[in-house]
Amino acid sequence: MSKVLIVEDNETLNEAYKLILEKDGHEVTTAFNGEEGLEKLKVSTPDLILLDMLMPKMDGLEFLRHYKPGKASKTTIIILSNLNEDEQVEEARKLGAHRYILKANTSPRELAARVNHIARHL
């Protein structure tokens, strides 16, 4: 299906997202902070990035500030967070995020269903 980069510092969530998305046929790469996520992007360009907002070393907004996709890039960025702050949501969108999903309201299986829906429309 799609290449997915998960940038999530919570190891349990990171692994749960990875296992479910791989089971659904996605090729998944993981990172545990923004710096590591940017390093992974030097090797491969994903179709989707699932990006946590609160992480050590480099948070989601800082990741977006440093992320420089190529002109032909069609990577979709989905923010995953427990924060529901309008300012952060708006800044993330201005920096290139396409969707904002509250983790507290979304199980890993529900997230996978959303990713599958988005992947079908890429």
Q: What is the residue extent of each domain of the chain?
A: 3-120
Are the C-beta atoms of 31 and 40 separated by less than 8 Å?
A: yes
Q: What is the pLDDT of residue 122?
A: 73
Ranges in the chain, pLDDT < 50: none
Are the C-beta atoms of 90 and 61 separated by less than 8 Å?
A: no
Q: What is the rounded distance in angstroms from the CA atom of residue 29 to the CA atom of residue 52?
A: 14
Q: What is the pTM of this model?
A: 0.92
What are the backbone dihedrals phi and psi of residue 81, each rounded to the nearest 5 degrees, phi first?
-160, 160
In the block, tokens 């032909």 appear at 72
What is the architecture of the domain spanning 3-120? 3-Layer(aba) Sandwich (3.40)
